Amino acid sequence: MSEHELRVSKIRNGTVIDHVPGGQALNVLAILGIDGSGGEEVSVGMNVPSDRLGRKDIVKVEGRELSQDEVDVLSLIAPDATINIVDEYEVVDKRRLDPPEFVEGILSCPNRNCITTDDEPVDSKFEVLDDEVRCVYCETIIREDLADHIDT
């Protein structure tokens, strides 16, 4: 572990999300639904120097694993991120993200005329494109501010 990364304190059990693009850490927290009110122990490093990305963010969450949905959305805003599972201060599993073809029931469609915004028994579904997502129903494309559309 490099000297820089040590600036963010070690966690005992939980998840370290590394190599998040600089400035995206707060969106990562939004995806995880963490705003501090739940009492989670979270450390965030922002704009930490990185060989790979120049500047990166890093998020460490004590006592928490990520669901597949969370991982899917995370992969949209931080495709180069790595997820480290920590057990007793040791990294026991290290995963790269693999953007899914579709994300379902996670983002809400910004098009107010989209059928998914009605009271219908259907989940939102977005096709994942290169650096944007597209509603399978109304075809609206969302590129920026994906985190704003997360259905929480």
Partner 1 sequence: MRHEHLVTAKQLSRADVEAVLDRAAEIAANPAAVRERHSDALLGLLFFEPSTRTKMSFETAIKRLGGDVVDMGSVDSSSVKKGESLADTVRVIEGYADALVLRHPRQGSAQMASEFVDVPLVNAGDGAGHHPTQTLLDLYTMREAADGLDDLTVGIMGDLKYGRTVHSLANVLTNFDVRQHFVSPESLKLPRSVRYDLHEAGAKVREHTDLETILPELDVLYVTRIQRERFPDENEYRAIAGEYQIDEETLEQADDDLVVMHPLPRVDEIAPEIDETDHARYFEQAHNGVPVRMALLDMLLENARGDAE
Q: Using CB under 5 A as the criterion, which residues of the chain lie in contact with Zn ion when the complex forms?
A: 109, 111, 114, 135, 137-138, 140
The set of residues, in sequence order, having a beta carbon less than 8 Å from that of 111 and lying 6+ positions away, is 117, 135, 138, 140
25 near 58, Cβ under 8 Å?
A: yes
- Considering the complex, state which of residue 6 and residue 122 has its C-beta at the smaller distance from partner 1: 122
Tokens standing for residue 80: 């180069």
- Considering the complex, state which of residue 37 and residue 113 has its C-beta at the smaller distance from partner 1: 113
Residues from 91 through 120 that contact partner 1 (CB under 8 A): 111, 113-116, 118-120
Contacted by 134, from partner 1, Zn ion, none: CB < 5 to 8 Å by type: partner 1
Q: Please work out, in degrees rounded to the nearest 5, the angle formed at the alpha carbon of residue 116 by the alpha carbons of 110 and 120.
A: 150
Question: Mask: binding to partner 1, 123-142, rule CB under 8 A, as x and -?
Answer: ------x----xxxxxxxx-
Longest C-alpha distance within the chain, in Å? 52
Residue 119 marked ligand-binding: no
Place of tokens 């096709």: 127
Tokens standing for residue 42: 């979270």
Q: Is residue 148 close enough to count as binding partner 1 by CB under 8 A? A: no
Q: What is the CA radius of gyration of the chain?
A: 16
Residue of 101, 121, 144, 152 interacting with partner 1 (CB under 8 A): 121
Tokens standing for residue 94: 């290290």
Contacted by 6, from Zn ion, partner 1, none: CB < 5 to 8 Å by type: none
Give the residue numbers of the binding site. Answer: 109, 114, 135, 138
Residues that bind partner 1 (CB under 8 A): 111, 113-116, 118-122, 129, 134-141
